[in-house]
Amino acid sequence: MKDIMSIVKQALDDEISSAIHFKENLDPNIAACVELILKSKGKVIVTGVGKSGDIAKKISHTLSSTGTSAYFLHPTDASHGDSGIVSADDVVLAIGKSGESEELNYILPTLKRIGAKIVGITANSKSKLAELSDIVIITPILKEACRLDLAPTSSTTIALMLGDAIAMALMELKNFQADDFALYHPAGRLGKRLSLHISDVMRKENRNAVVKATAGLDEILKEITSKGIGATGVTDDSGKLVGLITDFDIRKALTGKKINESVKATDMMNPNPSFFLPEEKAYDVLIKMENRERPISVAPVVTAERLFVGMVSLHDLLQKGL
């Protein structure tokens, strides 16, 4: 029985060698393809059959999520009415290693009659796909990782890499930024890290713990207990933050026997607490709270004018899946 790891390594070596060969022999028409898409007023239609179709789906998703509107169109569905999604302003990326897929080539003349531009991605410069394309990108393949040189392996990897590279070029040329990325990825950990602001997660209004500077011990304890965040902000008569009282501050005062009937909020509060602004990214605040020399679990949120508008807790941030 052959050594399994040696077979795996050989397959990887075959794909890596083909990828390096592809990189060293890049078709200049890749730039023409990117320029065509940039100038287009429509969307990108990505199509292919079989394994190339699977790669086409992934490329369309990558394009869409990085600022280039894209749609996967299966050639068979296109032959039965779905070609109606294509407009004269669109660019079609047609993927096929041999370039001789009947299902794919059958639909391309229709898409051309609609007015769309065809970019063929193939390893065969003399193929029907190349003949039907306005721009042809040749993807040279040294060898499939399959020992029979039949199963699409190196060829699909290279097609995928090319699609990713085109998407990244478009992303950079369009100056697509993190905030744009967040707009298209609102769910999941990545989306939350990019899109959630402190104003989205802070405890505010009747959930926010706040007492006046003149508040006594009973009022402070009631506020901290009822709001369940382990702290309360202290404000002046205009609503501006003047300090923060945490459970720790109260325990410290008790230990030091500094609490009596006349004690006020100003006697126990930290007058210079760390605070954050509502527009700060929630993930950035999480990192700041955890990476301090002495991490904090709760912090007030204030406006630029120092108006106390909310409280953020480490627990709440972690519950959001950041």
Q: What are the pLDDT digits (tens) for 57-111?
A: 999 999 999 999 999 999 999 999 999 999 999 999 999 999 999 999 999 999 9
Q: Where in the chain is the domain with CATH 3.10.580.10?
A: 198-319
| In CATH, 4-176 is 3.40.50.10490 | yes
Q: Where does CATH 3.40.50.10490 sit in the chain?
A: 4-176
Give the CATH fold of the 198-319 domain: CBS-domain (3.10.580)
Task: Note the pTM of the prediction, 2 decimals.
Answer: 0.70
Mean pLDDT over residues 188-202, rounded?
80
Tell me the pLDDT tens digit for each residue of 255-283.
877 677 788 999 889 999 999 999 999 88
pLDDT, tens digit (0-9, with 9 covering 90-100), for 101-131 = 999 999 999 999 999 999 999 999 999 999 9
The answer to whether the annotation marks 74 as part of a ligand binding site is yes
Give me the residues paired with residue 313 across strands: 298
Looking at residues 183-208, what average pLDDT do you find? Answer: 81
Residue 267 among known ligand-binding residues: yes
pLDDT per position as a tens digit, 29-67: 999 999 999 999 999 999 999 999 999 999 999 999 999
Residue 85 is which amino acid?
I
CA distance linking residue 268 with residue 250, whole number of Å: 7
Helix (H), strand (E) at residue 246: strand 241-246
Q: In which residue are the tokens 């999604």 written?
A: 85
- Tell how many helices (H) and how many strands (E) occur in the chain: 15, 10
The angle formed by the CA atoms of residues 297, 302 and 305, to the nearest 5 degrees, is: 155
- Closest of 147, 146, 164 to residue 155, by C-alpha: 146
Let me know: does 252 contact 246? Beta carbons within 8 Å.
no
Q: In whole numbers, what is the pLDDT of the chain averaged over residues? A: 92
**Residue 214 annotated as lining a ligand binding site:** yes
